[in-house]
Structure 1
Amino acid sequence: MHGQIARTNTMLREAMQHASRPMERRDLGAVAAMFASAFRGGRIAPGLEAYLERFCFGHPQTSPEVGSRVYESETGELSAAILCVPLRFRVEGQPVTARLLCNFMAVGETGARGAACLSRYFRAKRHDFLFSDTASDASATHWKTGGGRIMPIQSLEWCRVFRPVSAGARSLHRILRGEAGALVLAPLSLLDKAARRRRPLLVAHMPDGVSVQEVGATQFLVEARPMLGRFSVHPDWDPSEFAWLSQMVEANPALGPLRFSLIRDATGASIGTAAYCGTGQGRASVLNLVCLEGRERESVAGLLADFDRQGYCEARGATQPFLMRALQAHRHMSFRHRGFFCIAGRMPALHRALDQDLVYAEGLSSETWSRLLTDF
């Protein structure tokens, strides 16, 4: 009896594995329809299929082994999918291809079976390094069941408001967040000026001796790479991958142009770097902020002061353990849940880094830039 049960379980696992397969270009139409059904009430936006092709197959490291995955039923119908982006990381100096798991979707009668099959495939013991920074509560349960870990601090978003009237108005509708919104909301600047006079702490001041300079992508990489060395797990950002990620950011109209900043102290030495996006006088979306150990307060304060100087109404970014004290030192700073940050893998070095809060994965090396979150 035990032998028969074991054979049956083996057959079931083989059947499920056969039904789960790498996504191919011929699946784009079905995946677009599935995405629309799962996340957009069935409406397929113009350009969605073309974007999915770029998202799923455009990365220079994409291959069937590390790309997106679908579930195909016995009738040949796709009823579940997980979109994946391969990203190069260093884990204690060793190059590793991590898989960023993004949209997890299932539809139709066989959707539940497909979701279970894909969840079984993406178990921690089968892969070196998996992560997601936008998991829902249901997805987080799948991660934990499969041997993953949920990181509570990285699951938060910080927000610093500079001009509360404009920031509140822009939150009412997406169209008000772009350059057109800046024109519509221009009269509110008078109310913000009054609010800032009444509440001086809304103004972010540059620390003594600190300066912030806009730089190009090349200089950002030169300065940021040594600073990433404080983390035992961090993005590699090789030139081809960084170029692709930058192009994907620039293609997202909801974010605005991609910019890079260098933060210096009174001696002119670099103490921090940042990558962010912003449109008009709206929101500055901080993708990455990395600095020298011990210079977190100056780097955070300098960057926020520079955003205030440029006229942004607010700044937002992902929370990291090494930045918490520096962020909490600011008035008019708030934190909210943005999606569960989940991570899994079979590498002992990865778990050592997690235990010591030495994992850095956000912004350009996360799902923040995806139009599938903010568009379509």
Structure 2
Amino acid sequence: MQHSSRPMERRDLGAVAAMFASAFRGGRIAPGLEAYLEAFCFGHPQLAPEIGSQVYENEAGELSAAILCVPLRFRVDGQPVTARLLCNFMAVGETGARGAACLSRHFRAKRHDFLFSDTASDASATHWKTGGGRILPIQSLEWCRVFRPLSACARRLHRSLRGEAGALLLSPLGLLDEGARRHRPLLVAHMPDGMTVEQVGATQFLVETRPMFGRFSIHPDWDPSEFAWLSRMVAANPSLGPLNFALMRDTSGATVGAAAYCGVGRGRASVLNLLCLEGRERESVAALLADLDRQGYCEARGMTQPFLMHALQAQKHMSFRHRGFFCIAGRLPALHRALDQDLVYAEGLSSESWSRLLTDF
């Protein structure tokens, strides 16, 4: 049998689950992993073999390498383009290295319109650069705004404390945090004068974010079927908590910002998407953080974006850390023009942030 790379098929799920467990989880195949891989790799409403996950099959007919991919619809200078979000890159066995090299060649920039990954390792980032890709340093950072430092620290140290049960166990720390907030008032996030935050449904969120995409040459398309699937995938990740949509409004009642975020109890708020009209970055960021503080979250985190950098840096008790290399590649000239001008927007729902494969199984 010839060895080659080919599109992943449903019959490969068991082998890919075993490969994932071997590469990332010490060989243990967790319950539910194969079912989740099926939803992840084959659930997208516009999936086609040529834009899905890719596997390497060796001479013996065994899989020894794979790259899990999710097709995502984007607009590039107004034109619809299907990007491929490259997620878990894995290889096992004696032919794994050969398979990994074969898959790397398959995903060279000159072969595809638009590829990206927001969680690449250092080794993977090197492969991206070798294949004609680019690394976006700002999008490779995660921002973190702490509201209640003791609770936030405890939850970081103990994953078991991140759910609703953890909120009960951490109640005594909440009292200490309130004392810390009185002693250090800058821990409290204040709502800007005249700003309000309103919780809305997905439909209104989609309508209100359309004008905010106007500043970008490349941005998610978020057609209803894809957005519904992405929302279901977020809901399938219990560690994130329920998905919420919020609009930030100014004194006149006009919408100037929008956010999609998840959170559980008094734990972490994971901000998936944060958008705003051009020139309204500071009040949009400040209003969202003030509302998350009001709800009792101990901290908020999200992907850093160039257009938000100054607004985020203006916040007290804000920090930044490396979250994984954001890599992007493709043969479209419009893609490279947009990259040169920081006019690419891809994060949150249109990234790997919602995947259970990052932290679960």
Task: State whether TM-score is above 0.5.
Answer: yes
Q: Aligned pair 1:74/2:59, yes or no? A: yes
Larger Rg: 1
Offset of residue 145 of structure 1: 0.2
Q: Secondary structure at the match of 2:49?
A: coil
Q: Which residue of 2 aligns with 1:301?
A: 286
CA distance in 2, matches of 1:243, 1:335: 31
Offset of residue 17 of structure 1: 9.6
Q: CA RMSD in A?
A: 1.0
How many aligned positions are there?
Answer: 361
Q: Which residue of 2 aligns with 1:250?
A: 235
CA distance in 2, matches of 1:275, 1:331: 22
CA distance in 1, matches of 2:83, 2:211: 21
Offset of residue 154 of structure 1: 0.3
Offset of residue 226 of structure 1: 1.4
Q: Look up the equivalent residue of 2:212 and give its one-letter code.
A: M
CA distance in 2, matches of 1:40, 1:226: 42
Residues 215, 191 of structure 1: alpha-carbon distance in 2 compared, 3 angstrom cutoff: same
Task: Give runs of aligned pairs for residues 254-269 of structure 1, distance below 5 A.
Answer: 254-269=239-254
Q: Look up the equivalent residue of 1:58 and give its one-letter code.
A: G
Q: Which residue of 1 aligns with 2:190?
A: 205
CA distances 1:14-50 after superposition (whole Å, capped 9, x unpaired):
xx99610000000000000000000000010000000
Offset of residue 287 of structure 1: 0.2
Q: Which residue of 2 aligns with 1:146?
A: 131
Task: Give runs of aligned pairs for residues 1-376 of structure 1, distance below 5 A.
Answer: 19-376=4-361
Identity %: 86
Q: Look up the equivalent residue of 2:114 and give its one-letter code.
A: F
Offset of residue 240 of structure 1: 0.3
Offset of residue 252 of structure 1: 0.2
Q: Look up the equivalent residue of 2:136 and give its one-letter code.
A: M
CA distance in 2, matches of 1:220, 1:259: 10
Structure 2: gaps spanning 5 or more residues? none
Asked if 2 retains the 8 angstrom alpha-carbon contact of 1:127 and 1:345, the reply is yes
Q: Look up the equivalent residue of 2:207 and give its one-letter code.
A: V
Q: Structure 1 stretches (4+) deviating beyond 3 angstroms?
A: none
CA distance in 2, matches of 1:360, 1:179: 33
CA distance in 2, matches of 1:54, 1:38: 20
Offset of residue 303 of structure 1: 0.2
Asked if 2 retains the 8 angstrom alpha-carbon contact of 1:207 and 1:298, the reply is yes
Structure 1: gaps spanning 5 or more residues? 1-15
Offset of residue 374 of structure 1: 1.7
Offset of residue 173 of structure 1: 1.5
Asked if 2 retains the 8 angstrom alpha-carbon contact of 1:17 and 1:117, the reply is no
CA distance in 2, matches of 1:28, 1:349: 36
CA distance in 2, matches of 1:88, 1:239: 11
CA distance in 1, matches of 2:6, 2:329: 21
CA distance in 2, matches of 1:249, 1:17: 39
Offset of residue 326 of structure 1: 0.1
Offset of residue 175 of structure 1: 1.2
CA distance in 2, matches of 1:354, 1:162: 34
